[in-house]
Structure 1
Amino acid sequence: MEPLPRIIAVISAYNEEDIIGAAIEHLASQGVGVYLLDDGCTDATVQVARDFLGRGVVGIEELVSPDPPGTERRFHLSAILERKERLAAALDADWFINHDADEFRESPWPHLTLAGAIHLVDRLGWNAIDFDVLNFFPEGDYRAGANPTDSFRRCAPAPACDRVQVRCWKKQEQRVDLSSNAGHDVQFPGRRVFPIRFPLRHYPVRSEEQGRRKVFRERKSRFDAGERARGWHVQYDGLAEGGPLTASWGAAVEYDREAVDVNLQLENRLVEQLRSDHARTTGERDRLRGEVARVSEVLRTSEEQARTAEASVRRLDATVERVMAETADLSRRLDEVFASKSWRVTAPLRALWRLVGG
C-alpha cells in the first residue's frame, strides 16, 4: 500500500487556549501534523500546544512582531502569511494547509481521513484543495478543551468574504503566494484546484464572553490599518459592543454531516463553472439577438429610405423629361419665328428702336 503523504497544517494562534488542544487532536487523528506560530499569545495557548509535541505538533515558533518595542502588538496578517510561505518552502512535507486554530477540516468521503483524501487528490493529479466553510453558532454548553462537535449543533454557510478557501496545496519548487489575497486563495504556477470542496467546520465564537473578548479586544482593535485599507478583516464589520455576535451569519440550520457530504459532491467547482459558462453564453446569445434585431431594424429603415429615394428619382426623371420636351418645343417655335418673313422685315425697325432707347 502506497504511504500517505506527509501533511503539515501551519497554524497561527493568538489566545485560543480553549480550542487549540481540540484542533490539534482532530488534525492528528486525521493524519495531519501541526506547526504552531505563536502570535504573542497571553493565555495558555502555547502551553497547551507543547503538550502535543511529538504526538501531533511538529514545531512551535514565536513570531517576531514588526511593531516598535514598547508599543501595543498589532495583528499583522501579511507578516504571518509571509512566514507561512517561507515555512511551506522549508519544512519537510508533501502538502501544507494554511490553518486557523478554530477550524476543523475533514474529508468529503467518510471512509477516508483528511490525509487519505488529500492522498487521493494527489494521485488524481490535482495540487490544491478548496474548502466549504460552515460557521457554527455558540450553544452555551461548550467546555474549554472539549471536542466542539459535542456542543455545537447549528450552523450557517460562510459569508461571501470567506467563500473562497483554497488553503491546502502540494509542496512546490518555488515559493507559493498567500499574501496577495489574505491567505484565502493560494497562488502558484500550474495550480489545479480539485473540483470537490472539502468540509470545514468553523468555531469562531464558542461563548458570549470569549466571542466579545475576541472580536472587540483581540481582533478589531488590533487590525493593521494598511490591511484594512486593502479590504481585509471585514468579517466583523457591522458588529457593535452590546449587539449580537452572529447576526450577520444568516439562518441557523441543524448540522447534518451526510447531507453536507452529498451536497459537496453535487455542488462542486466544475458544476459552478458550467453554470457560470451557461449564464455567460446565454447573456452573449441575448446580446447577439438584440444586435440582430437592431441591424434588422436599420436594414428595414434603410430599405424604406431606399424606396422613398427611388420614388423621388423617378419623379425627378419625369420632371427632367417634361422640361426637356418643353425646351425642345420652345426651341422649335423660336426657330420658326426667326425663319418667318415678318421677323426679317421688321429687323430695321427693331434696330432703330434700340438706338432711340426704346
Structure 2
Amino acid sequence: MAASVQYFIPIFKRKNRKANLGKLEGIFMKDQNIINQNDEVLFTPIRVGAIELPSRVIMAPLTRNRAGADNVPTDLMAKYYAQRATAGLIISEATQICPEGQGYSATPGIHSSEQIAGWKRITAAVHAKGGRIVLQLWHVGRISHTSLQPNGQAPVAPSAIRANAQVFAAGGFVDVSMPRALALSEIPTLVETYRQAANNAKEAGFDGVEIHAANGYLLDQFLRDRTNQRNDAYGGNIENRIRLLSEVCEAAADAIGADRVGVRLSPLTSFGDIADSNPQTLFNRVVARLAELEIAFVHVIEGETGGERNPQPFDYAAMRGSFPGTWIVNNGYDRTMAIDAVAGNQADAVAFGRSFIANPDLPRRLRENTVLNLPDPATFYGGDAHGYTDYPALE
C-alpha cells in the first residue's frame, strides 16, 4: 500500500493537487476494500464434497492421548470437540482402524462397538453445536511397540525395516519395535479393514473420513521407497507403491461415498527416517490418482510436520496439478499466511493445529484478529481436563 501511495504523489501537478488527492483517496479506498475482502476470504463458506462448511478454518487432527479403557472415546473428549465446533470442519485425532494399527497409548479406535458408541456421543455433541466432523482413519504400521500390539506381536510394515523413532507407551516414550513385512495375502484383509472402519465412522455419525497417509505411518510407508522395498505388486515402481492407498480410498469411497473421503499427505516429512528418492514425481502421481478417484479433499502438510516449512525444494502447486477437489494446507500457518494462501488460490482452506488446542473459539479470534491463548506443551499428550478443556473462550 505504501509503495502505491509513494508512486502516485510525485506525478501530481500542483495546480491539480486537490483533484489528484481525491483520486488518490479513491485509489487508497479501493485498495483498502481489496484488503478487507482478503481478510474475509478465510471466513467464507465452501463445499467440500458432500459437506457444506461455513468457513475455511479447519481444525487439524491432534493426538491428545485421552481415550479411556480399551481405547474408547470419553465424555471429556466429547466436551473438547464440542468446544471447537465453530471450526469450518473438525478433522478428528488419528483413530486406529484395528488393534494392530495402534502405536501410542490412550489413542481411540473405531473397530469395536464400544468405540463406535463413544464416538457417537462426540459427533452428536459437535452436531448439536452446529459443527461438522470427519474421522481420521489411522494405521501406524511400523511406528509401534510390541507392548501396544495384540499378544505382544511385532508391528507390521511394507518391509521389515526398523524405524528410528519412539512412541508413547504405558511407561513413557520407548523405541519402536522391529516390524515384520506384511504378506501379500494379508493386504486384501487390510483394505477391507479400512472399508469397515469407514462404515463404522458412518455409523458413529461422522460426516466423512480422512485417510491418514502421512507422517511416516503405514500408508506413507508404502508410498516411499526408503521404507517400501517390496518386489511384488505393492512395491518397486511408483504405480505399485501407490496401489495400497488407491485401494484403501476406493474401499472407503465404496462404503460412504467418494464425496465424503479425504486424504492427508506429507511429501517432505521425515519422521521415523522415512524418505523417497523422488518425492516430487511420487506425490504428483499420488494426487493425480486421487483426482481420478474423485475424492472430496486432499490435506497437505507442507514441509516437516510441526517443523521447517522448506526443508528442501518442492513444488506444491505442481503437486496440486489438476486436482478438482478441495485443497487444504497445513503447517505453521498464522492468520496472515492463511488469508494470503486462500486469497492467492494456493489453497481452498487452511488447517490449524496447536492454535486450536489453546483456542476453542479460534475462528472468531482469527476473524476479529484478536489475541490468541498460548498452548501448554506439557499437557499435549495424556492427562485430564487441564490443558484440554480448560482453555478460555472470548466473552
- TM-score w.r.t. length of structure 2: 0.22
More helix by share: 1
TM-score by length of 1: 0.24
